[in-house]
Chain A
Amino acid sequence: MVKLAAKCILAGDPTVGKTALAQIFRSDGTHFQKSYTLTTGVDLVVKTVPVPDTGDSVELFIFDSAGKELFSEMLDKLWESPNVLCLVYDVTSEQSFTNCGKWLEKARAQAPGGSLPGVLVGNKTDLASRRAVDSAEARAWALGQGLECFETSVKEMENCEAPFHCLAKQFYHLYREKVDVFHTLV
């Protein structure tokens, strides 16, 4: 049995729902934050996710940092050596989707060994009439970037666990790969 620990950074434009997503995950879907508060600095959410079909688990340390700080030096410090990335956009905002490229680039620049498992999450699917980002378009981009793709509605509490379970699984597979490498060294 092994319990891994992963630093998960939560990235994306302000108001896409990063904090709401992290909080609903933390509270097992019992808590939707109705009023918006701008995150300043960083919030930390810690939660253990079991890896299916193994006795193993991954403890996610989710660093929820302010979305307005794309260009701040503060973020460089908070994002040091990330293990996995949760990249969030708002399906009603074309701009928040376009900016994902910049967030991804910034996160990858900090990743140890140059690899960073990640997921792309399109949030606010409940606002169907205002949708501005096509699912297929997002999926194609995510695929090209090696990211797994999800759509969620934090408000309706739909699919909010899946991205984090996927991150835990990806990190676990990365660990298994590295252990295989360690075996070949002698």
Chain B
Amino acid sequence: MRKVDLCLSSEGSEVILATSSDEKHPPENLIDGNPETFWTTTGMFPQEFIICFHKHVRIERLTVQSYFVRTLKIEKSTSKEPVDFEQWIEKDLVHTEGQLQNEEMVVRDGSATYLRFIIISAFDHFASVHSISAEGIVISNLS
């Protein structure tokens, strides 16, 4: 089966919730496949966003490109609706002065319909997320 970046909006994915939004840096920037565009938090933590695949997928590798993110929690759901999220990954990231944090994770138990990213804390007053990508396969369409 073809491996694709499951998060891309061009593959049909969508950000259905974000707790912060600057019109100039909207959450769509997370999944447009372009790390030059980004989503910003706009003050106080935690902050979160939810990506909907509109499909059942199995994720094998997850990459997060960000700046100033300190503690990141990722939950996933396998429901049709964005409910019943279960804790999946929790990571303390390292600050990389002047360059993007590039966090690559080889993951287990990667079946999902939704991913929920929670930025628990940051290294500064604001943080940015430039790209979320998930390598894996499509299992089935939501019926």
Contact = CB atoms under 8 A, between A and B. Distances in A.
A165 B98 CA distance: 31
Contacts of A171: 43, 125
B42 A4 contact: yes
Interface string B91-105: 000000011100000
Interface stretch (A20-28, A35-43, A124-132, A177-185): A177-185
A83 B126 CA distance: 10
A185 B99 contact: yes
Contact of B124 (A2, A7, A59, A112): A112
B44 A5 contact: yes
A58 to B, nearest CB: 8
Interface of chain B: mostly helix, strand, loop or mixed: loop
A1 B128 CA distance: 17
A146 to B, nearest CB: 15
Nearest to B36: A186
A59 B42 CA distance: 10
Interface in A160-186: 171, 174-175, 178-179, 181-182, 184-186
B26 to A, nearest CB: 10
A113 B45 CA distance: 14
Q: Chain A, interface size: which category?
A: 20 to 34
A182 B124 contact: no
A83 B44 contact: yes
Interface stretch (B4-12, B16-24, B77-85, B134-142): B16-24
B25 interface: yes
Contact of B128 (A5, A113, A174, A182): A182
Interface string B101-134: 0000000000000000000011111101010000
B13 interface: no
Interface string B23-49: 111000000000110101011110000
Contact of A186 (B22, B40, B130): B130
Please name the 6 residue pairs, one residue from A and one from B, whose CB atoms are nearest each other, closest first.
A113-B124, A5-B43, A2-B22, A182-B128, A4-B43, A178-B126
22 contacts: A1-B23, A2-B24, A4-B42, A4-B43, A5-B43, A83-B43, A112-B123, A113-B123, A115-B125, A171-B125, A174-B125, A175-B42, A178-B124, A178-B128, A179-B22, A179-B25, A182-B40, A182-B130, A185-B67, A185-B128, A186-B100, A186-B130
Interface of A: 1-7, 58-59, 61, 81, 83, 112-113, 115, 171, 174-175, 178-179, 181-182, 184-186
